Amino acid sequence: MKRIHSGFLCIVIAACAIILAASFSTPASLRLKTCSPQKISKCTLSESNDYDDWDMEDEMDEDPTEGMTGEELRMKAMRILLENSWDGKAMGTVPTTPEKAAVAAAESVALAMGRSHNVMMIDLSLPSYDILEGPKFYDQKAVYNFCTSLTNQLVERKLITRSLILVRNDQERRSIECAIEKTVTGESSYDMARSQESDDVVDFRQQLLNSWDSGAPLEKTEIKMSTSDPNSNHRLWSMVGKEEISTGSDMFDEVIAAVDKHARLDTRQQEDAIIIVSPYDTADVIAVRRILARYGQTRTIIFLNSRMETLPVEMSNSVMVYGVMPLVARASATRNSANDNDVEPGLKAVVMKRFPEEWSLFIDAFGDGFVRAKDRLGYHPGTSNAFPPGEWIARNVQYHVEGLQ
């Protein structure tokens, strides 16, 4: 049996201390907490504007790391470390892309629906899917691709017919649609609107010139774009539509009215499932409660990365069907080294939930693959809809490492 040396044990102990100090309800805390001489951080799934999350499959002639910042290079290196350790038999499909993450989650959703669960939660605790990470890491397009891929998987399994994907507000919806349009056409509707304004000025000037020559005015060609496909198996909208919601005493009534108007399944289009993306503030909670009051007993409702501090009572019967949180311990000295892009391999761990199993902790101490750590504490971690507490993770990491000595 391999023997772990004392220096590596120090890394793990330092990492454990950090996990204990970190708040798992706020994903960014794990990445920001530091403890000399070591640091533990989430293995992030960085923005996928030019390449997919955990992008290990691209075969491009040019260097895919060109133009990446030092932090992005470090995160990419840590993603490689995690993927190389992944055990597909024990851990399922490795979520290297939004599409593969959806495959992994759909397996658990299908099992839960087979046991009559209809309100389910999925938590991809990875910065590109976490709205609280901010625009630097959060990738709305990747989140949308996950939702559409999850819909495809459930439709193929004949579990649903068509989904309604609800984001928090109209600003988020328009942002996603602009990203989609820019991918397809190379130009977003915002860019096209500005271009159209310029064309209007040119047309007006041309008409003036033509009038001096008694010629017929030029006809302007109108560009019409559709942001929704009637033949699609999903529809993207927001919980409150385009309504403006105040932050004062009228918020409750305004949210209720907006949800009643906009967050409705279109039965004519055979919509029978709702995917709610990243609710977290007070207005979101009100909207969620209203939606659940209407559909919570009769329709399939899936929450992706809910960040509500307290789940409403209407979600008391909800169940976390798929959750994943990767962790990597690395030396903080690396950050200040001559080659700032190097990542020193350290202990790797993944906290995972795959329905109907309980929460599991997978650890790779030597770089030879993840193994399921035994629960030495003798109690079930977390709840059916929350990640295990940091103390449970830290102690089981420590017990696992001590057992390797």
d(CA 25, CA 325): 12
Question: Could you tell me the pLDDT band of residue 116, with boundaries at 50, 70 and 90?
Answer: very high
* DSSP 8-state assignment for residue 366: S
Cis peptide before 37 (omega within 30 of 0): yes
pLDDT at 9: 40
Q: Compute the distance between CA of residue 373 and CA of residue 308 in angstroms, rounded to an integer.
A: 30
Length of the chain, in residues: 405
Q: What span, in angstroms and rounded, lies between the C-alpha atoms of 131 and 139?
A: 8
Domain ranges for the chain: 6-53+72-176+234-402
Q: Is 290 exposed, middle or buried (0-12, 13-18, 19+ CB in 10 A)?
A: buried
CB contact burial 298-335 (16+ within 10 A = b; e otherwise): ebbbbbbbbbbeebeebbeebbbbbbbbbbbbbbbebe
Residue 148 pLDDT greater than 90, yes or no:
yes
Joined together, the tokens standing for residue 102 give 């959806």
Q: If you search the block for the tokens 């198996």, which residue do you land on?
A: 233
pLDDT tens, residue by residue, 238-255:
999 888 888 889 999 999
What percentage of the chain carries pLDDT values higher than 70? 63
Element (H, E) at 397: helix 390-402
Rg over alpha carbons for the chain, rounded to the nearest Å, is 24
Q: How far are the Cα atoms of 57, 92, 98, 104, 126 from residue 88, in angstroms, in the given order?
A: 16, 5, 17, 10, 19
State how far the Cα of 117 lies from the Cα of 161, in Å rounded to an integer. 17
The whole-number average pLDDT for the span 205-233 is: 49
Per-residue pLDDT tens digits for 363-400: 998 888 999 998 877 666 656 678 888 888 888 998 89
Mean of pLDDT over the chain: 75
Lowest mean pLDDT across 94-103, 195-204, 370-379:
195-204
| Greater model confidence, 312 or 81 | 312
Average pLDDT of span 7-16: 41
The structure's pTM equals 0.73
Contact criterion met (CB below 8 Å) for 146 and 234:
no
Give residue-wise pLDDT tens across range 247-296. Answer: 889 999 999 999 999 999 998 999 999 999 999 999 999 999 999 999 99
Which secondary-structure segment (H or E) carries 189? Answer: helix 189-212
